[in-house]
């Protein structure tokens, strides 16, 4: 009916109705066409533009391998690597040799002290022979080293560290026979857990056995300088922690059964040539000496204590 009328003569309602009829006719023709192609009813109704959704799967991610371009090694890199390996091997060798050397030296302490214990006590005290000191006590160059022991003290100062003469040594030997004046036999330092024997002499063999007493120096309780020396890194490391002592700390030196109390009054680090610390004094003091610093031993550590009342 609308085809017989011109569009400009139709109202809005008539145009909408005509458009609706047109859509229905087109849908019917499409349904008939798709039905003839053996399509399902739903597909025929929805039209060709409708397609079932397909499941889209993302492709599996492939591992990415980042390869850096190889840089050819130059002869300089190879040389540096060789030097580093050689330095590490050398350091390990030095540390290993030092460990076994230190272990061997410390093992000698037990043998030397055992020999000291089995020695029979002397019936009488003989005059002590002078000892020609060529170095401050506590040195690390043994007499068996190539060229002998290397002195730490210059030649023009070595006279300062010589022990007493034969006459004074004989006089000291006479004093030793007196009960009230005996040679030191033991030192106890509670703060650093030291309890060690004291032997007469400060040479290489003496310091294997314990703390060495400088011949000619004072005895416990006497006026004068009681000079004692011991190692800090070999032969038992007796004075290993001597530097931990502070002003006011106590230590004790025995002469047989007699016990003498000393109090730390001074502590300092000196050069090996400062031999004045070994000289006699008018006050009853004791000087404890070891090498410093640990395992380097270029200086000397001195601890001075005064006899307590």
Helix/strand/coil (H/E/C) assignment for every residue in 241-298:
CHHHCCCCCEEEEEECCEEEEEEEEEEEEECCCCHHHHCCCCCEEEEEEEEECCCCCC
Tokens matching residue 161: 């560290």
DSSP one-letter code for 238:
T
Is 140 part of the annotated catalytic residue set? Answer: no
Phi, psi of 277 (to 5 degrees): -70, -15
Which residue, among 184, 191, 163, has the nearest Cα to 249 in the 3D structure? 191
Q: Which residue in the list 213, 261, 291, 299 is annotated as catalytic? A: 291
Which residue, among 42, 2, 52, has the nearest Cα to 22 in the 3D structure? 2
From CA 262, how far away is CA 29, in angstroms rounded?
Answer: 127
From CA 94, how far away is CA 79, in angstroms rounded?
Answer: 22
- The three-class DSSP label of residue 219 is coil
Q: Which residue in the list 140, 156, 213, 231 is annotated as catalytic? A: 231
- The three-class DSSP label of residue 260 is strand
The catalytic residue positions are: 231, 291
């Amino acid at each position: 009916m609308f085809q017989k009328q011109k569009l400009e003569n139709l109202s809005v309602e008539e145009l909408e109705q005509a458009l609706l009829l047109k859509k229905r006719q087109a849908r019917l023709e499409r349904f008939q066409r798709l039905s003839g192609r053996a399509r399902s009813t739903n597909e025929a109704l929805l039209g060709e533009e409708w397609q079932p959704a397909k499941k889209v799967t993302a492709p599996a991610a492939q591992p990415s391998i980042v390869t850096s371009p190889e840089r050819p090694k130059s002869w300089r890199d190879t040389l540096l690597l060789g030097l580093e390996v050689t330095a590490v091997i050398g350091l390990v060798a030095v540390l290993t040799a030092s460990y076994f050397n230190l272990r061997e030296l410390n093992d000698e302490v037990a043998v030397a002290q055992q020999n000291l214990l089995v020695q029979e006590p002397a019936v009488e005290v003989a005059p002590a022979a002078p000892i020609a000191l060529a170095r401050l006590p506590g040195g690390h160059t043994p007499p068996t080293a190539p060229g002998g022991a290397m002195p730490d003290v210059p030649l023009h100062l070595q006279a300062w560290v010589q022990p007493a003469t034969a006459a004074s040594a004989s006089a000291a030997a006479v004093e030793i026979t007196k009960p009230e004046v005996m040679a030191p036999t033991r030192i106890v330092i509670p703060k650093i857990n030291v309890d060690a024997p004291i032997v007469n002499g400060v040479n290489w063999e003496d310091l294997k056995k314990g703390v060495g007493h400088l011949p000619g120096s004072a005895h416990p309780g006497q006026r004068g300088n009681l000079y004692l020396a011991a190692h800090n890194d070999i032969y038992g490391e007796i004075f290993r922690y001597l530097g931990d002592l502070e002003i006011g700390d106590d230590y004790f030196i025995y002469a047989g059964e007699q016990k003498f109390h000393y109090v730390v009054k001074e502590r300092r680090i000196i050069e090996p040539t400062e031999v004045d610390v070994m000289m006699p004094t008018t006050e009853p003091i004791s000087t404890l000496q070891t090498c410093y610093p640990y395992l380097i031993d270029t200086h000397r550590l001195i601890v001075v204590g005064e006899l307590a009342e």
